[in-house]
Chains A and B, each alone.
Chain A
Amino acid sequence: MSALALAWRNLIRQRRRTALMGVVVAFGFAAFALAGGFIAQSFEGLREGTIRSVGQLQAVDRRAVSTSEETTLEFGIADAARARALVARDPEVSYVLPRIDFVGLATNGTKSIPYLGVAVDPEPEAAATGARGLVTVGSYLSGDGGDGVLLGTGLASALHVRPGDRVTLMATTPDGSLNAVDGVVRGLVDVRIKELNDRYLAAGAGLVSRLLQSSGTVSKLVIFLKAGADENAASRRIASALSGAGYSVVLRGWRQLAVFYEQVKLLYVGIFGFVGAVLVVIVILSAAIVMTMAVTERTREIGTLRALGTRPSGVLRMFLAEGVAIALLGCVAGALFALLVRALLNAWGFTLPPPPGGTHGDPIHVQLYPLAYAAGLVAMVATMAIASYFPARRAARLSIVEALAHV
C-alpha cells in the first residue's frame, strides 16, 4: 500500500467530500480554461483588427511624425509609385498600400456634409484588409476605382444617396485652392465605429489625385508582411532601402500606431488576473478546510500508521497525494465542463454587445486554447498542493502518543 494507493482509497471512502471539493476545483479549472481562451481570442482579434486597419508597418514622411499638416499632402511622400515598387521588392512584404488622407465636403446638390476621405488602390487594399467585407449595400471599388466612391452608411443616409447616385466631392488642393470632382456611389460601408460611419469616404487614387491635383504624392504607404515575418528586421530593411533611394521617411509598427492595443491588453490582464486571484483564494480556503477536516478525523489512524513504522514524510505524502488527486480529478471534470460550455455557446450563436463606440458586436466563437487548459491545470494542482501542504505537515508532525489517544 503506497501513500498514493492509500490516499486514493480514502478519497473513495469520503466520496461526498471528494466530489464537493472536486466540483470547486472543476469550476476553478473551467473558469481558467474558458476565460483564458476568451482573453487569448480577444487579444488575437484585437491584434488582427488593429493590423487590418493600420497595417503592420507604415511609412510616412519624417516631418509628418512630429508636425501636423496645415494643408492636405503638405508632408506627403512624393514619387510614391517608385517608393511603393521599392518596398514591394522586399521578400517579406505581401502588400504595399498607398493611401491619401484628405478632408472636404460631399454634396448631393442640395446638401453638403463634411467627410474624412481616404484614397486607396482598391484591389490590393481589399485583398490585404478584407475591406470588401465591410460593404453592406452595393459593391466595393473595382479596378483602379475609376470615379467610384464608397460612403459610410451614416454619411450616405445624411446625403440621401444610394449606390448608383452621383455625389460631388469638394476639397482644398495642396496649393490652397478649392476643387470639385463628381463621383458615383458604388457601395455603402459599415466601418463599425459610429462616428466614423457618419464621415467615412473612400475612393480610388485616380479620382482623388484629380480632386487634389497632386498626382504621384501619397500620405503614407501601409505595409503588410507575410505570415511569420520578423517585423523589426523587415522594418529596418525597408527603412534603409527607402532612405537609400532618397526618401526621407520613418517606419512605424502597428503597436506604436495603435496605443490602445497595449492599454486594452493591460486592462484585460488586470481584470482577469484579479478574478483569477479571487478564484485561487476561494479554492485554497475551501481545500484547506476540507484537508484539515480529513486530518482531524483521521488523527488516530495517523497515530496508527506512525506506530507501524510510517515515517512523517509518508504521512505528509499521503495527504498531499489526496489534495493533488482531487485537483487532477477536478481538472478532468472541469475540462469536460469547459468543452460542454464551449460547444453550447458556439452552437447558440450568441452575440456579444458592441464594444464602446462600436456599431455591432461579434458573435461569440469560443476557440479551444490548449494553453488556457494547461494554465488551469497548473493553477489548480498548485493551489491544491499549497492548500493541502499545511494540514498534511500538521498530520506528519503529530505526536504519535497523542494521536493514538485521540477519540
Chain B
Amino acid sequence: MPLPSGSRTAADPLLEARGLTRTYTLGSGSVPAVRDVSLMIEEAEFVALQGPSGSGKTTLLNLLGLLDRPDGGTLTVDGREASGLSENERADLRRDRFGFVFQTFNLIPVLSAEENVGYPMALAGVPPDDRRSRSMELLAAVGLEQKTSVRPDLLSGGQRQRVAIARALANRPAVVFADEPTANLDSKTAEEILDLMRGLCDSRRVAFLFATHDPRVVNRARRVVSLHDGRIESDVLSTGTRT
C-alpha cells in the first residue's frame, strides 16, 4: 500500500540500503557490479558517489532510485520496504519522492522548457495552471526565466541541465539522483551547476546524490561515498569543504 509521503516518522531514514547486491550475467560469466552495499541518505544531504570507472556507481544509483531491482539486500524508502512494490507503485514513488538528472540531460525533445518541467506534475495530476506557475517559479530558480518556451534543442548544455534540475524538483522530491550530471559540460559550467544544486539542496531541503569521478565536483560535496569494485570503500563527511 502506498503511504502518503507525509507518513514518514522522524525515526525513519529517507533512504536506507542494507546489503544491496546486483550481479549482471554476461554470457556464461557474471559481473558483480554492486556487492553488499549498506547506505543511508538523510534529508537535505549533499552526497557525492565517487569511484573509478566500472566501480558500480551507476548501478548503485539505479538501485537506490528504484530504476532497477537488486538481487539481494533490502531498500527502504521513507521506512517502507521497496522490494514488495509493484511496477506501478515504484513508478508513483519515483514520481512523488524522487527526481532524476542525467548525464545526457534527457529532456523530452518535443516539449518546451516549461512543459518539460511540468511533465512530472502532469503525471501527478497537478492542474495546468498550477503546473505552469510552478514551472515558471522553478525555471526562475535555475536562472532560466527567459527561456521558458524554448525547445531543448535550442538550449546550451548548461541550460539543458538547468531545465533538467528544475524538472527533477517539480514534485518537491525528497531525493534527486544525478548520474554524472556534469560529465557533458565544460568545467566552468559544471561548477555553476554544482553550486546551483547545492543551493537548491539548502533552500528546498532536498537531498542530492550524485555519481561522479570529477575531483572538482567531489570537492563540493558535503559527504563523499567512495566505491571500489562494487563495495563502499569509505564514507566521509567533508566538513572542511568551502561553502
Q: Using CB atoms and an 8 Å cutoff, list the residues of chain A in contact with chain B.
A: 1-2, 6, 9-10, 12-13, 300-301, 303-314, 399-401, 404
Interface size class, chain B? 20 to 34
Contacts of B120 in A (CB 8 A): 308-309
Which of B104, B108, B111, B123 has a CB less than 8 Å from the CB of A314?
A: B123
Q: Flag if A311 contacts B67 (CB, 8 Å).
A: no
Contacts of B87 in A (CB 8 A): 311-312
Does B115 interact with chain A (Cβ within 8 Å)?
Answer: yes
The CA-CA distance from A304 to B160 in the complex, in Å, is 14
Which of A12, A300, A310 has a CB less than 8 Å from the CB of B123?
A: A310
In the complex where A9-B111, A312-B87 touch, is A401 in contact with B106 (Cβ < 8 A)?
A: no
Q: Flag if A2 contacts B122 (CB, 8 Å).
A: yes
User: Per-residue CB proximity of B99-138 to A under 8 Å, as 1/0?
Assistant: 0101010101111000100111011100000000000000
Q: Flag if A1 contacts B111 (CB, 8 Å).
A: yes
User: Distance in Å from the Cβ of B83 to the closest Cβ of chain A?
Assistant: 16
Q: Flag if B119 contacts A1 (CB, 8 Å).
A: yes
In the complex where A308-B95, A310-B123 touch, is A401 in contact with B111 (Cβ < 8 A)?
A: no
Q: Using CB atoms and an 8 Å cutoff, list the residues of chain B in contact with chain A.
A: 62, 65, 67-68, 87-88, 91-96, 98, 100, 102, 104, 106, 108-111, 115, 118-120, 122-124, 167, 171
User: Distance in Å from the Cβ of B55 to the closest Cβ of chain A?
Assistant: 17
In the complex where A308-B100, A310-B123 touch, is A400 in contact with B111 (Cβ < 8 A)?
A: no
Q: Flag if B91 contacts A1 (CB, 8 Å).
A: no
In the complex where A9-B110, A308-B95, A309-B94 touch, is A400 in contact with B68 (Cβ < 8 A)?
A: yes
Contacts of B88 in A (CB 8 A): 311-313
The CA-CA distance from A2 to B123 in the complex, in Å, is 8
- Closest A residue to B89 by beta carbon equals A311
Give the interface centre of A1, A306, A314, A401 by most chain B CB atoms within 10 Å.
A1
In the complex where A13-B110, A300-B106, A311-B91 touch, is A1 in contact with B67 (Cβ < 8 A)?
A: no
Contacts of B98 in A (CB 8 A): 309
The CA-CA distance from A261 to B150 in the complex, in Å, is 65
User: Distance in Å from the Cβ of A295 to the closest Cβ of chain B?
Assistant: 15
Contacts of B96 in A (CB 8 A): 309
9 tightest CB-CB pairs across the interface, nearest first?
A: A309-B95, A9-B110, A304-B106, A309-B94, A400-B67, A311-B91, A1-B122, A401-B68, A307-B100
The CA-CA distance from A2 to B98 in the complex, in Å, is 20
